[in-house]
Amino acid sequence: MKAVIYTRYGPPEVLTITEIEKPQPKDNEILIKIHAATVTSGDVRLRGSDFPPLFWLPARIIFGLFRPRKTILGHELAGTVEAIGKNVTRFQPGDPVFGTTTMLKTGSYAQYICLPEVWKSGVVETKPKNLSFQQAAALPVGAMTALYLLEKADLKEGQQVLIYGASGSVGSYALQIVTQKGATATGVCSGSNSEMVRSLGAVNVIDYTKETYSERPEKFDVVFDAVGKTSKKEARKVLQAGGSFVSVNMMTKEKKEHLVQIKEWAEQRKLRPFIDRSFPLDEIVKAHEYVELGRKRGNVGIEIPK
C-alpha cells in the first residue's frame, strides 16, 4: 500500500511516498480503507519538531528525541471498514467511519490503517451520513478540541465569547458551537476572512491587521485562543470579572461522547467543516507547505487514492 513516511525532522521535503505492507487487524482492531485525511497544524509541528520552547524537550521525549517514533503522520481520517478482529462488536465490514489516530504508532497518511475499537487516547465512530469522506475527515480534531475547551470555559447561553483565530480549524468550529449554545461570538481574523467567519456565526469581526482586540472597550465572558497566538495576560484586558480564558496550548482530551455529539450536530446541519482546499496524497509536500504558511482557512484535506 502507499504511505507517506518521514524518518527525520525537517521541512516538508522529508515526507516521501513509499510502498509498505498492508496492516492486518488484531483481535480488537478494525482495518480501515482510508479515503480522506487532513493536514493539521499538529502534523506540521511534529514533522518540523516546531514546539514552543517550554514544551520542546517533553515533546521530543514523547514523539522521538533524535528521530520520529511515529513515521506516518496524519491525526484524523475517514474511510470504510474492510475487516474486523474477532473481538470487535461495534463495527462491521462496509461501515463508513471517521476518527483519530491519537497516540497510535501510525497515522492516516496511508491507504490503510488498523484502529483499536476502543483505546485510551483516541476515538472512532461511524461517520455522519450527510457528509462526504473528506468533510468527515476534517471534523474530529478541530471540533473536539473546540468542544472540550468551551466546556472547560463553562460556556453558557447569553454569554459574549471572543475567538482569536476564528478562521482556523478549531476557531471555525468554536464559532458554530458558541452560536448554537445561544452565546454571541466575536471573531478575530484578518479582514480577508471576515466574510467566512460571519458565515459560520460571528456577529462581530475584529481585523487583527488593523487593531488589537485587547485595546477595544468591549468585555467578554470567554476569550478562546484558537491558534495559540495570544495570552491570558492580553485576554484579561477584555475579560469580565470571573471570565474564562482557554487556549489550544492547554491540554485537551478526546472523548467518545464528544465525537458522537459532533456527529449528531453534523447530521442536524448545526455543524459543518470548512474545507479550504484538498490535495491528493501524492502532493503531500505541497499540502504541508501550504499549511506551514499559516494562512489556511478551516481545514486542508488529503485525498487518499483507491
What integer pLDDT is reported at residue 49 of this predicted model?
A: 81
Distance (Å) of CA 156 to CA 5, 43, 149, 150, 224: 44, 32, 13, 9, 14
Distance (Å) of CA 139 to CA 21, 95, 175: 28, 18, 14
Same domain membership, residue 205 and residue 107: no
Instruction: Give the helix ranges, DSSP H, for the chain.
Output: 41-48, 53-63, 133-137, 140-152, 169-180, 194-199, 232-235, 256-267, 284-292
What integer pLDDT is reported at residue 52 of this predicted model?
A: 66
Same domain membership, residue 130 and residue 172: no
What integer pLDDT is reported at residue 54 of this predicted model?
A: 61
What integer pLDDT is reported at residue 55 of this predicted model?
A: 63
Q: Which class for 251: exposed (0-12), middle (13-18), buried (19 or more C-beta within 10 A)?
A: exposed
What integer pLDDT is reported at residue 43 of this predicted model?
A: 95
**Residue 255: inside a domain:** no
**Residue 254: inside a domain:** no
101: left (phi over 0), alpha (psi -120 to 50) or beta: alpha
Same domain membership, residue 179 and residue 56: no
**Residue 78: inside a domain:** yes
Query: What's the CA gap between 124 and 66, in Å, rounded?
Result: 31
Q: What is the pLDDT along the chain (306 residues), one digit of tens a residue?
A: 999 999 999 999 999 999 999 999 999 999 999 999 999 999 999 898 877 666 666 666 677 677 888 999 999 999 999 999 999 999 999 999 999 999 999 999 999 999 999 999 999 999 999 999 999 999 999 999 999 999 999 999 999 999 999 999 999 999 999 999 999 999 999 999 999 999 999 999 999 999 999 999 999 999 999 999 999 999 999 999 999 999 999 999 999 999 999 999 999 999 999 999 999 999 999 999 999 998 899 999 999 998
Query: What's the CA gap between 23 and 124, in Å, rounded?
Result: 18
**Residue 69: CATH number of its domain:** 3.90.180.10
Say how far residue 107 (Cα) sits from the centre of its chain. 14
Same domain membership, residue 291 and residue 201: no
Q: Which residue segment(s) compose the domain that 195 sits in?
A: 142-247
Q: What is the pTM of this model?
A: 0.95
Q: Which class for 268: exposed (0-12), middle (13-18), buried (19 or more C-beta within 10 A)?
A: exposed
Q: Write down the residue that cell numbers 485510551 correspond to.
A: 120
Sign of the alpha-carbon torsion through 27, 33, 34, 35: negative
**Residue 106: inside a domain:** yes
**Beta strand pairing call for 112-116 and 184-189:** unpaired
What integer pLDDT is reported at residue 57 of this predicted model?
A: 64
Q: How many domains does the chain have?
A: 2
Same domain membership, residue 203 and residue 55: no
Same domain membership, residue 293 and residue 199: no
- pLDDT one-digit tens code per residue, 261-282: 999 999 999 999 999 999 999 9
Same domain membership, residue 75 and residue 151: no
Q: Enter the C-alpha cell of residue 132.
A: 462526504
